[in-house]
A = this chain, B = another copy of it.
């Protein structure tokens, strides 16, 4: 496996992805040109096509990787017994995961409409699956008499929106630590479904 002079395939690929993620998050997919991405990486525009089939693939791969990471991390959650502990753990997990990668979260949500139909379907399906995980917890809590909600589906959507909303205002250099934020939001999530803590 001889390496040619000037070859950087192991490093350039990830740098392109990082630059694209940052630029897409800041200006939006449609507003960012391949030349901007190339400039950020320090290569010419043509070189990008050695690492991605086209601009759309670049976006899709970023969103797909984000969702893959989300599920991978979710599987690491230690199992707990009662629904209240489950919801508490999920809330804390969701906040920790999302707060740590604001750009990816932003792109995953904001750029859905810029995905071509079949790519959109794939990402939507993954998002649906993730929400179903939370809905399961809510439903089990209701069945066990631990939660009081008028509608499990609506409660699930309300919880997801509330928890993900942290990303709109949280700053690492703000007045609160990630831990404090997670504590407070987990409590509000529990309250929202009428759980006693």
A interface residues with partner B (beta carbon < 8 Å): 26-31, 110, 113-114, 149-151, 154-155, 157-158, 160-162, 164-166, 168-169, 176, 181, 183-185, 187-188, 191-194
Question: CB-CB < 8 A to A169: which residues of B?
Answer: 157
* Assembled-state Cα–Cα distance A181/B30 (Å): 34
Chain copies in complex? 2
For the complex of A and B, 8 pairs with smallest distance between CB atoms: A161-B165, A30-B31, A30-B30, A162-B162, A150-B184, A192-B192, A188-B192, A158-B162
CB neighbours (8 Å) of A26 from chain B are 113
**Cβ contacts under 8 Å, A165 to chain B:** 157-158, 160-162, 165
Closest CB of chain B to A138's CB: distance in Å?
12
Cα(A165)–Cα(B162), bound, Å: 8
Chain B residues with Cβ below 8 Å from A187 are: 150
Known contacts A26-B113, A28-B30, A185 near B158 by CB under 8 Å = yes
A-B contact pairs, 25 of them (CB 8 A): A27-B114, A28-B29, A28-B113, A149-B188, A150-B183, A154-B176, A154-B181, A154-B188, A157-B166, A157-B168, A158-B162, A158-B165, A158-B185, A158-B188, A160-B165, A161-B161, A161-B162, A162-B162, A162-B192, A165-B165, A188-B192, A191-B191, A191-B192, A191-B194, A192-B192
Instruction: List B contacts of A191 (CB < 8 A).
Output: 191-194
What residues of B have a CB within 8 angstroms of the CB of A181 in the complex?
154
